Amino acid sequence: MDHGRRYWVHATWVFSLVLVAALQWWSFWAWRHVVWSPIRFLVALSLPGLLFVQASVLVGETGSVTSFRDRFFERRVPFFSLGIALALNIALGPWVLGLARWFSLTPAHPIAASLMVLSIAGIGFRTHLAHTIIASLAMLLAIASFLWLPVATSAAFYGADVLKSSDSSE
């Protein structure tokens, strides 16, 4: 690849999406106790679907790209709009899947709130400096989530009271 075409902010977002996809795959293990229904199944599939669409918007067809920096800023609004949808999906997922009581906080909620703030900032700001900061924070969020969420999720979701209440609500 031509070095003039590369843009590290774009590459950071691509790597962050890969980490989030791996974290999503890992989180399926936490869903092994879910009593599945068609709605819950669609909700479970919506997050990887959103990740795919977001990655497609970010990367797309690269053959005719002369500058990934220009491409990033051209696709910034749709990319970060999908980030808002992803944050909402992450926030609602534990409740819809029955992993937590409705409106109770879970380990996913601080991550969803952080992603929401970063996505809104990504839509609002148009400068390289702002997106350098946003991409750096997103990478830190993805790494922290990858290290912290599987441990925190086990403790939060596998408590006997949560499993009993989600089983009795069905």
35 vs 31: CA distance, rounded Å:
9
* 97/76 Cα distance (integer angstroms): 31
Tell me the domain boundaries of the chain: 8-18+36-157
pLDDT 10s digits, 110-136:
999 999 999 999 999 999 999 999 999
Count of CA atoms in the C-beta half-sphere (13 A) of 54: 26
Rounded-to-integer distance, Cα 66 and Cα 97, Å: 43
CA distance 56 to 67: 17
CA–CA separation, 111 and 126 (whole Å) = 24
| pTM, rounded to two decimals | 0.82
Question: 61-111 pLDDT, tens per residue?
Answer: 877 888 889 999 999 999 999 999 999 999 998 888 887 888 888 888 899
What digits encode the pLDDT tens for the residues 135-158?
999 999 988 887 876 655 555 554
